[in-house]
Amino acid sequence: MTQSATVDGSLVVRTRAVDLDVESLIDLLPDATPVTWLRRGEGLVGWGVAAMIRTSGPTRFSDADKWWSELLARTEVVDDVNEPGCGPVCFGSFGFADEPGDSVLVLPRVIVGRRGSQSWVTTIGDDEVELRPTSRADAPTISFADGALNGEQWMTVVADAVARIDAGDLEKVVLARDLIATADAPVDVRWPLTRLAESYPMCWTFSVDGMFGATPEMLVRRERGLVTSRVLAGTIRRTGDDNHDLALAAALARSSKDLEEHEYAVRSVAEALEPHCSGMNVPDSPFVLHLPNVMHLATDVAGVVRDAETVSSLQLAESLHPSAAVGGTPTPQAVALISAIEGMDRGRYAGPVGWMDRNGDGEWGIALRSAELEGATVRLFAGCGIVGDSDPEAELAESQAKFVPVRDALGGY
């Protein structure tokens, strides 16, 4: 099913260089319909809706990609900067499962970008835009409660999954849980976005249509013929003691359980990208990615795209989703088990989120360390990779660590 709303007639899109006197692009956002994609102070923000499509079901990616191509066909572009992310840029957030698979792709009326020393603004139509810091209401008071399952119930589900893995039904499954935050007033998403960008600069801070977070995992980046994907699987919680954390990092790098989980995830990404690449680099062993709250085993897979003229970054994201890092191995059996025992609708959690420009280049992360905002209610998500020797209590502790980024950004300690 597809629903769309666009402006009538052709679109006129103008990109020009600007000087920005703000430390964070989030400071420029008004409170209505903000979108963001930021890392280490660089990236894109936008607001307003020039055109939008909502898709669902198994064809949600292809329907959105086709709509974007048709929209570009009636778009006039004046681009004085010519960097990736200039001109018309759509922002998307896609459902994890095929059903219902509710997804969105939006072209903002205003897009502001920063890359190194270069900054620019893209506008749709003839509106003049004044780029200056905006004001915000005070952050509300937040309370937290269990989501679909409490901790004990979720550990029972994990134990069930381990039994199925031990019985040979599958090798790995990623199980998620949710946490419900309730505020005493509507939540202004700019507050948690600012805190996430400050606290997790090495992650990609995103916001699209109420889905927001700071993901450490790049599903796929395509830029001028090169494609990269950052795979994360295998996690350990940090203690705050540097020496102890170094020892934990070394233990993580030797952990057979975590290395096995990571190998599944890397293999699934490499196999999905291979048909689209003329050459690929898949490192033999992972490195340890240090984040403020956790450490992950990480591998960067890279390749040279051979079908860039016909396959967009969004199509590459579709071919990669769901990877073993968010679904499991084998993927069909793992996704079916998630639907059978997880006990909740993931919505757009763990689905692709990111942006794409008129050339099909773009960046699509996985919506992890994320939450869905609606008014005064925020639904937080966290997931863990379950393999044969997973311990339910350890997995519960890992899920609690993964709630920390968004929970702290909302003000809950």
Residues designated as active site: 172, 217
Burial of 85 (0-12, 13-18, 19+ CB in 10 A): buried
With beta carbons less than 8 A apart as the criterion, state whether 301 and 228 touch. Answer: yes
> What is the C-alpha end-to-end distance of the chain, expressed in Å?
41
Dihedral pair phi/psi, residue 290, rounded to 5°: -95, 120
For residues 151 and 32, give the distance between their C-alpha atoms in angstroms, rounded to a whole number.
35
Residue that the structure tokens 């964070």 belong to: 24
Sort strands 75-79 and 11-17 into parallel, antiparallel or unpaired: parallel
Contact residues for 186 (Cβ-Cβ < 8 A; gap 6+): 140, 375, 376
- What one-character-per-residue DSSP string does 313-325 give? HHHHHHHHPSPTT
Degrees, nearest 5: CA angle 40-42-47: 125
Q: Are 383 and 402 in contact (CB under 8 A)?
A: yes
Alpha carbons 357 and 84: distance in angstroms, whole number: 7
Structure tokens given for 70: 């048709």
CA 78 to chain centre: 30
